[in-house]
């Protein structure tokens, strides 16, 4: 049974339209008119238990709206959602005990109290027995390297330590499905790496299902083999990261160090010239002729070194989102 099933899910917001001036204000008061904003449009996908899936899209694409529907915070306009065997918007106790939502820009820990006090509140909310609570806190504290930090007021923790404590609070009831919205937002590089390593270990240890949104592509490449891409409320890609690169970045960069300079017109016969810097030449080569082109360069030119690289994943995602390309 799939952990998450989404079928033709849509969310439409009615937005009041007001004309300027006094007349517009009076009309707005007595005869209000509305326009529809389609935040999410008939998206469908399934996620299996234990999968870690990246959810990508530009600001305003519909990512957070989708997460809110999957966690039951808002009611969908149409479509069907099933998460861990439950309909989210019914907000049943069993459902709430199986999921968690972490938003990098929101906090649940009480600022002036030690994090441990907030954890005890969560334990009471989820009816976690004392022994089980202590065991789970100890395990997560070790995994997050938070020893000695939970008894300090939250305001005295560093940003990275606060984010780790937020994760601990969200996971103390050991949910089966994790919805993570920008969990590394604002963290420095070391803290980002630490959070990624924890999420990877948590997924492997407990088999949790994870749906992750992030503007840091390093989060996605480090944790997710599959990605969903949403653009203007529509799901435009569902597949592997490798497939995304293959489809939307058909060229590879071939960087060649030459033993002697060659005229640009001669080099242009091999492939599209991206740049020439002294005896370092960069070609853009379509993937389908890559092997043949590299072989010809090595045969015809006096080559000291040659390297083939893929474009950065950030560039690929940016190209997809900018064009709104539908797969």
Q: What pLDDT, in 10s, does the model give residues 80-136?
A: 999 999 999 999 999 999 999 998 778 889 999 999 999 999 999 999 999 999 999
CA distance 150 to 119: 9
- Single pTM value for the model: 0.79
- Residue 228's Cβ-side half-sphere holds a number of Cα atoms within 13 Å equal to 23
CA distance 196 to 75: 31
Q: What is the CATH architecture of 4-245?
A: 3-Layer(aba) Sandwich (3.40)
The domain limits of the chain are 4-245, 251-309
DSSP H helices in 210-289: 217-223, 241-248, 264-267
Other Cβ atoms less than 10 A from the Cβ of 305: the count is 10
pLDDT at 322: 67
> What Cα–Cα distance (Å) separates residue 85 from each residue in 35, 66, 130, 243?
35, 18, 28, 30
Topology of 251-309 in CATH? Alpha-Beta Plaits (3.30.70)
Token pair, residue 298, equals 């090595």
Q: Tens of pLDDT along 240-268?
A: 988 887 777 778 889 999 999 999 999 99
pLDDT at 6: 97
Token pair, residue 280, equals 């370092």
CA distance 300 to 284: 18
Which regions of the chain are under pLDDT 50? 327
Strands 177-181 and 209-213: parallel
Task: List, in sequence order, every beta strand (DSSP E) within the chain.
Answer: 4-17, 33-47, 52-56, 78-83, 99-103, 177-181, 209-213, 226-231, 234-240, 251-258, 272-277, 280-286, 303-309
At residue 146, φ and ψ (nearest 5 deg) are -110, 20
Which strands sit side by side in the sheet containing 251-258, from one edge to the other?
272-277, 280-286, 251-258, 303-309
CA distance 40 to 12: 7
> What Cα–Cα distance (Å) separates residue 168 from each residue in 146, 195, 205?
9, 11, 15
DSSP H helices in 106-188: 115-125, 130-144, 159-171
Query: By the 8 A CB rule, do 147 and 190 touch?
Result: no
Query: By the 8 A CB rule, do 161 and 68 touch?
Result: no
pLDDT at 107: 85
């Amino acid at each position: 049974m799939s952990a998450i099933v989404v079928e033709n899910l849509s969310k439409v917001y009615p937005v009041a339209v007001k004309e300027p001036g006094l007349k517009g204000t009076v009309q707005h008061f007595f005869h209000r008119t509305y326009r529809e904003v389609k935040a999410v449009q008939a998206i469908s996908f399934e996620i299996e238990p234990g999968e870690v899936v990246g959810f990508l899209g530009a600001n305003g694409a519909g990512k957070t709206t989708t997460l809110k529907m999957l966690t039951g915070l808002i009611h969908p306009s149409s479509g069907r959602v099933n998460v861990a065997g439950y309909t989210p918007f019914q907000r049943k106790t069993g459902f709430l005990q199986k999921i968690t939502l972490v938003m990098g820009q929101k906090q649940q820990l009480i600022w002036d109290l030690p994090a441990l006090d907030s954890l005890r509140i969560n334990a009471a909310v989820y009816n976690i027995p004392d022994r089980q609570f202590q065991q789970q806190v100890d395990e997560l504290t070790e995994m997050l390297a938070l020893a000695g930090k939970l008894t300090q007021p939250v305001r005295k923790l560093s940003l990275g330590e606060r984010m780790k404590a937020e994760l601990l609070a969200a996971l103390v009831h050991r949910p089966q499905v994790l919805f993570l919205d920008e969990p590394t937002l604002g963290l420095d590089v070391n803290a980002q790496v630490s959070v990624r390593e924890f999420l990877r270990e948590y997924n492997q240890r407990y088999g949790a299902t994870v749906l992750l949104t992030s503007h840091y592509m390093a989060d996605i490449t480090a944790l997710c083999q599959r990605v969903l891409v949403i653009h203007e409320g529509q799901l435009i890609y569902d597949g592997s990261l490798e497939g995304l690169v293959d489809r939307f970045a058909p060229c590879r960069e071939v960087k060649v160090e030459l033993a002697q300079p060659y005229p640009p017109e001669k080099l242009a016969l091999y492939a599209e010239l991206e740049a020439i810097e002294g005896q370092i030449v960069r070609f853009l080569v379509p993937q389908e002729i890559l092997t043949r082109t590299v072989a010809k360069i090595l045969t015809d030119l006096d080559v000291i070194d040659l390297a083939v690289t893929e474009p950065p994943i950030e560039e690929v995602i940016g190209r997809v989102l900018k064009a709104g390309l539908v797969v």
